[in-house]
């Protein structure tokens, strides 16, 4: 199925089964929402961005620390808010197919709040289990992520894990993560009786999940495979406040500032660069 086949003849992109899974488990996957050629173009844009060097405030690679263990994320850090500097990233963030699914999930008009691109090269650390709304602090309600797979994504190269059912819970106070396996500081242990579930994806698949859903990823242990992904975070039009690190837009690219909430931060507070051992 290609992207143009999805939703053909007036049928909705998100099935009733997909909506029911989102409501029950806190996540759902729409397969092949983007065609492979669309994903190839997106990855080409970010390869060019990486080759061109730093983009202050958005993409800032670091030099290797002498005497320290090699960190692949120094050369390939995530790109923050790429839609503000790249027209194709903006088109992906505001894509009409994403909009249709998101409006079904929210039950109202949506606003885009953030974009990110992860390279996650071989050997890169993952991100410990966490909740997105710990950072976005959307009030009232929560955010929803649209996580676009840009490679074959599985256990070997550090695919996502989700903890179904945690979307019904409050935002937890996180513990400190293990810096040997997570680039971000926050860690939310799975609540008693609940277990992380892996979500394997193909290029063009999109994982949608609730901002309170506990999720994360292990390191990329593949040795030779990147785990690239493009992520958008969205809020309902009825949201009244959001953390200062997020800049909301309508899906027609009109800036809509929201009053600020307190206590949030960038999506994943990174550990300081490692010094010599």
Sequence ranges of the domains in the chain: 36-62+71-250
For the domain covering 36-62+71-250, report its CATH number: 2.60.120.620
What is the pTM assigned to this prediction? 0.94
Q: Which residues, at least 6 apart from 29, have a Cβ–Cβ distance to it below 8 Å?
A: 18, 199, 201, 205, 206, 207, 208
Look at residues 138, 102, 105 and name the one whose alpha carbon lies nearest to residue 22: 105
Backbone angles phi, psi at 255, to 5 degrees: -65, 130
User: How far apart, in whole angstroms, are the C-alpha atoms of residue 22 and residue 18?
Assistant: 6
Q: Hey, which residues does 151 pair with through a beta bridge?
A: none
pLDDT, position 5: 37
Burial of 177 (0-12, 13-18, 19+ CB in 10 A): buried
**Tens place of pLDDT per residue across the chain (277 aa):** 233 334 445 689 999 999 999 999 999 999 999 999 999 999 999 999 999 989 999 999 998 766 567 899 999 999 999 999 999 999 999 999 999 999 999 999 999 999 999 999 999 999 999 999 999 999 999 999 999 999 999 999 999 999 999 999 999 999 999 999 999 999 999 999 999 999 999 999 999 999 999 999 999 999 999 999 999 999 999 999 999 999 999 999 999 999 999 999 988 788 877 554 4
User: How far apart, in whole angstroms, are the C-alpha atoms of residue 19 and residue 144?
Assistant: 13
Q: Are 83 and 93 in contact (CB under 8 A)?
A: yes
pLDDT, position 68: 64
The token pair that represents 63 in the structure block? 């030099």
Q: Hey, which residues does 146 pair with through a beta bridge?
A: 208, 232
């Amino acid at each position: 199925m290609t992207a143009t086949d999805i939703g053909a003849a007036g049928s909705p992109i998100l099935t009733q089964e997909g909506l029911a899974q989102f409501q029950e488990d806190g996540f759902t996957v729409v397969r092949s929402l983007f065609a492979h050629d669309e994903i190839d173009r997106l990855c080409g844009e970010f390869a060019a961005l990486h080759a061109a060097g730093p983009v202050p405030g958005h993409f800032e690679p670091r030099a290797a620390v002498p005497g320290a263990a090699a960190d692949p994320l120094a050369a390939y850090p995530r790109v923050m808010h790429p839609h503000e500097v790249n027209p194709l990233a903006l088109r992906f963030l505001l894509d009409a197919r994403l909009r249709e699914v998101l409006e079904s999930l929210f039950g109202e008009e949506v606003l885009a709040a953030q974009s990110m691109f992860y390279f996650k090269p071989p050997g890169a650390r993952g991100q410990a289990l966490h909740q997105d709304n710990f950072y976005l602090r959307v009030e009232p309600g929560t955010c929803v992520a649209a996580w676009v797979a840009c490679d074959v994504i599985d256990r070997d190269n550090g695919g996502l894990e989700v903890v179904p059912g945690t979307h019904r819970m409050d935002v937890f106070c996180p513990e400190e993560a293990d810096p040997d396996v997570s680039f971000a500081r926050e860690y939310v242990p799975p609540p008693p009786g609940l277990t992380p579930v892996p979500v394997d994806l193909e290029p063009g698949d999109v994982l949608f999940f609730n901002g309170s859903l506990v999720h994360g990823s292990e390191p990329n242990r593949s040795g030779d495979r990147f785990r690239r992904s493009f992520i958008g975070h969205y809020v309902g039009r009825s949201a009244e406040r959001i953390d200062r690190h997020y800049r909301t837009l309508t899906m027609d690219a009109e800036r809509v500032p929201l009053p600020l909430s307190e206590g949030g931060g960038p999506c994943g507070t990174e550990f300081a660069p490692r010094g010599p051992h």
